[in-house]
Amino acid sequence: MRTALALFEVRRLLRSPLLWAAAALAVTWRATMTWQMMPNWSLEAVHTATATLIVGAAALVAANLVTTRDRRDGIREALAALPVRAPARTSAAVVATCAVAVLGATAATLLLLATLSVDAVPAGRLDVYELCGGVAAVALAAALGVALGRWIPHPMAPLVAIFLLGMAMIVGAGGRLLPVVFVWDMPVHLSRPSGLHVVYVCALVVLAGAAALLRYGPRPARVTAAVTALAVAAGVTTATAGEAQDVPAATQHCERRGDLTYCAFPGYEPWIALWAGAVEPVARALPPAARAHLPQIRQRAGGDMEFYLPQADADRSVRPGQTWGRNGGETAYRRTLAARTAAAITGLPWGGRNSQVDSLSCDARDQARTVVALWLAGHTAAQRLPVDVEIIRKFGNRRVGTMGRSDMGWVDYSAAELEYSRHLLARPGARQAVWEHWDRLLDPRTTVRQALPLLGLRPLPATYSALPADRMREEACP
Amino acid sequence: MRVARLMLRPLARTIDWTPLAVSALLTVPLALFAGAGADPGPALYYAVVLLRLSAILIGAAAGFVLVDPLAAGTGPVPVPRWLRQGVRALLGVAAGTLIWACVFTVVRSRLPGVPLPLAGLAAEAGVCLALALACTASTLRRYPDRPAALVGAVVLSGVLAATLFLRGDASPWIMPGEPGWEEVHRVWLAVSPLPVIWLAVANRDLR
Cβ distance B165 to A395 less than 8 Å, yes or no, reads no
Q: In what order do the strands lie in the sheet with A297-298?
A: A253-257, A260-264, A297-298
Q: Which among B53, B114, B164 has the least Cβ separation from residue A167?
A: B53
Name residues 95-114 of chain B within 8 A of A (Cβ). Answer: 113-114
**Alpha-carbon gap: A35 to the closest alpha carbon of chain B (Å):** 12
3-state secondary structure of A391: strand
Q: Indicate whether A2 pLDDT > 70.
A: yes
Q: Do B158 and A21 touch (CB under 8 A)?
A: yes
Amino acid A307: pLDDT: 45
Is residue B74's pLDDT more than 80? no
The 8-class DSSP code of residue A318 comes to: B
Q: In Å, how far is A97's CA from the nearest CA of chain B?
A: 18
Mean pLDDT for chain A overall:
86
Of the listed ranges A282-286, A304-308, A441-445, B165-169, the least confidently predicted one is A304-308
Residue A5 has pLDDT above 90, yes or no: no
Number of residues written out for chain B? 207
Give the residue from chain A lying closest to B51, CA to CA: A167
- B154 chain-A contacts, CB cut-off 8 A: 18, 58, 61
Judge contact between B95 and B65, C-beta under 8 A: yes
Closest CA to A266 of A54, A103, A42, A466: A42
Lowest mean pLDDT among A107-111, A311-315, A370-374, B187-191: A311-315
For residues A301 and A247, the answer to whether their CB atoms sit within 8 Å is: no
Q: What is the pLDDT of residue B177?
A: 77
Between CA A253 and CA A410 the distance in angstroms is 29
Report yes or no: A30 and A47 within 8 Å, Cβ to Cβ. Answer: yes
- Residue A312 banded pLDDT, cuts 50, 70, 90: very low
DSSP string, A98-126: HHHHHHHHHHHHHHHHHHHTTT---BS--
* B54 in Cβ contact with B102 (< 8 Å): no
Helices A53-67 and A41-51 pack at an angle, to 10 degrees, of: 30
- Euclidean distance between CA atoms B202 and A184, whole angstroms: 42
Q: What count of other Cβ atoms lies within 10 Å of the Cβ of residue A165?
A: 21
**Cross-strand bridge partners of residue A411:** A362
**Interhelix angle for A128-151 vs A41-51, to 10°?**
20
Q: Is B115 within 8 Å of A65 when comparing Cβ atoms?
A: no
Rg (CA), chain A: 30
Greater confidence (A432 vs A86) lies with A432
**Residues on chain A touching B19 (C-beta within 8 angstroms):** 154, 156, 159
DSSP state of A40: B
What residues of chain B lie within 8 A of the CB of A171, using their CB?
Answer: 46, 49
Predicted local distance difference test score (pLDDT) of residue B81:
85
* Opening angle at CA A334, ends A332 and A336, nearest 5: 65
- Whether the full predicted model's pTM is greater than 0.80, yes or no, is yes
Least confident segment among A141-145, A202-206, A310-314, B167-171: A310-314
What is the spatial distance between Cα B61 and Cα B18, in angstroms, rounded to a whole number? 9
Nearest CA in chain B to A157: B19
Task: Give yes or no for residue A45 having a pLDDT over 80.
Answer: yes
Residue A414 amino acid letter? S
Q: What is the pLDDT of residue A242?
A: 65
**Burial grade of B110 (CB within 10 A; 0-12, 13-18, 19 or more):** middle
The whole-number pLDDT of residue B165 equals: 67
B7 vs A: CB within 8 A: no
Asked if B123 has any chain A CB less than 8 Å from its own CB, the reply is no
Residue count of chain A = 478
- For the ranges A29-43, A293-307, B88-102, the maximum mean pLDDT occurs at B88-102
Neighbours of A425 (CB within 10 A): 17
What's the gap in Å between the CA of B32 and the closest CA on chain A?
14
Q: Using an 8 Å Cβ cutoff, are B50 and B107 in contact? A: yes
What does the alpha-carbon distance between residue A394 and residue A308 come to, in Å, rounded to a whole number? 20
Residue A36 per-residue DSSP state? T
What's the pLDDT score for residue B39?
59
Closest partner CB to B26 (pick from A18, A33, A160): A160
Look at residues A114, A4, A21 and name the one whose alpha carbon lies nearest to residue A62. A21
Q: What percentage of chain B reaches a pLDDT higher than 90?
A: 44
Over residues B91-109, mean pLDDT:
95
Cα distance between residue B66 and residue A49, in whole Å: 36
Asked if B103 contacts B53 with a C-beta cutoff of 8 angstroms, the reply is: no
pLDDT above 90 for B4: no
- What confidence tier does A311 reach under pLDDT thresholds 50, 70, 90? very low
Shortest distance, CA A345 to any CA of chain B (angstroms): 34
Cα distances from A296 to residues A102, A166, A333, A345, in angstroms, run: 47, 44, 17, 11
Nearest to A315 by CA among A376, A364, A263: A263
Tell me the shortest Cα–Cα distance from B55 to chain A, in angstroms.
11
pLDDT at B28: 92
Between residues 15 and 34 of chain B, which touch chain A (CB distance below 8 Å)?
Answer: 18-19, 22-23, 26, 30
Question: Which of B20, B22, B50 to mutate to test binding with chain A, by most A CBs within 10 Å of its CB?
Answer: B22
Q: What band does A38 get if pLDDT is binned at 50, 70 and 90?
A: very high
* Mean pLDDT computed over every residue of chain B: 86
Strand partners, A86: none
Greatest pairwise CA separation for chain B in angstroms: 60
Q: What is the mean pLDDT of residues B135-164?
A: 86
Residues of B in contact with A68 (CB under 8 A): 147
More confident residue, A27 or A397: A27
Phi, psi of B126 (to 5 degrees): -60, -45
Q: How many helices (H) and strands (E) does chain A have?
A: 17, 10
A329-338, A367-376, A383-392, B46-55: which has the minimum mean pLDDT?
A383-392
Give the pLDDT confidence of B10-35 residue by residue, as tens digits. 888 889 999 999 999 999 998 888 76
Confidence of residue A315 (pLDDT cuts 50, 70, 90): low
pLDDT tens profile A241-274: 766 555 555 688 899 998 899 999 988 999 999 9
The pLDDT of residue B178 is above 50? yes
- The closest CB to that of B177, out of A158, A164, A394, belongs to A394
Give the range among A106-120, A182-196, A206-220, B114-128 with minimum mean pLDDT. A182-196
Name which of A437, A439, A433, A438 is nearest A456 in CA terms.
A433
Work out the average pLDDT over A328-355: 82
Whether residue A163 is predicted with pLDDT greater than 70 in this model: the reply is yes
CB B128 within 8 A of CB B56: yes
Average pLDDT, integer, range A413-429: 91
Whole-number Å distance between alpha carbons of B49 and A302? 25
Of A58-62, A70-74, A215-219, A461-465, the poorest mean pLDDT is in A70-74
Whether the Cβ atoms of residue B184 and residue B169 lie closer than 8 Å to each other: yes
